[in-house]
Amino acid sequence: MISGRFGSMGELFFEIDLITAEGEASQVDALLDTGFTTGWLAVNSQDIDGLGWLVIERNRAMRTAQGQDVFDLYEGTVSLDGVEFRIPVHVGEEIPDVLLGLQWLGRMRLVVDAPVGVLTLEHRGSNGS
């Protein structure tokens, strides 16, 4: 289980590890983006430098909250809750934060209890569910 934190405007942040092609981990804060329904992870093109991830597809058009945009897809490795996942990563020019997409909620359980300050992501089945 990973614990998250609430941002000043109620955002949901989690620390995750981006794993380089050489196996080195780089910890980042990632924002759970409830509008990012079709993907796993999105990062700014500047943040991809040094990871050594392979390009899967260039110039994939997607609809975003700001309208139509173009992204490159990379095959990346991330670690959440101590488990590494190889996933497609959307890379674009104007992504202000590392974004976790809602695809994670098919694999992980999100618990949000803002009044008591509880924010967690955990693997389904890790608590007997």
Q: Does residue 26 fall inside a structural domain? A: yes
Computed over every residue of the chain, the mean pLDDT equals 90
Q: Does residue 128 fall inside a structural domain? A: no
CA distance 39 to 53: 17
Q: Does residue 38 fall inside a structural domain? A: yes
The predicted structure's pLDDT at residue 123? 81
Domain count, the chain: 1
Of 82, 76, 85, nearest in space to 49 by CA: 76
Q: Does residue 129 fall inside a structural domain? A: no
Averaged over 31-49, what is the pLDDT?
92
Q: Please name the residues in contact with 34: beta carbons below 8 A apart, sequence gap of 6 or more.
A: 102
Q: Could you list the residue range(s) of the whole structural domain that residue 90 is in?
A: 2-123
Q: Does residue 18 fall inside a structural domain? A: yes
Helices (H), the chain: 45-48
CA distance 81 to 74: 22
Q: Largest Cα–Cα distance of the chain, in whole Å?
A: 43
First to last CA, the chain: 13
Averaged over 28-36, what is the pLDDT?
94
Averaged over 67-81, what is the pLDDT?
89
- 80-109 pLDDT, tens per residue? 988 999 999 999 988 889 999 999 999 999
For residues 42 and 91, is the Cβ–Cβ distance under 8 A? yes
108-121: string of b/e by CB count within 10 Å (b at 16+)? bbbeeeeeeeebbb
For residues 30 and 85, is the Cβ–Cβ distance under 8 A? no
Q: Does residue 50 fall inside a structural domain? A: yes
Of 81, 64, 73, nearest in space to 126 by CA: 81
Check which CATH number belongs to the domain holding 42 and give it: 2.40.70.10
Of residues 38 and 66, the one with the higher pLDDT is 38
Q: Does residue 56 fall inside a structural domain? A: yes
Task: Output the six-digit token pair for 109.
Answer: 């359980």
Q: Does residue 72 fall inside a structural domain? A: yes
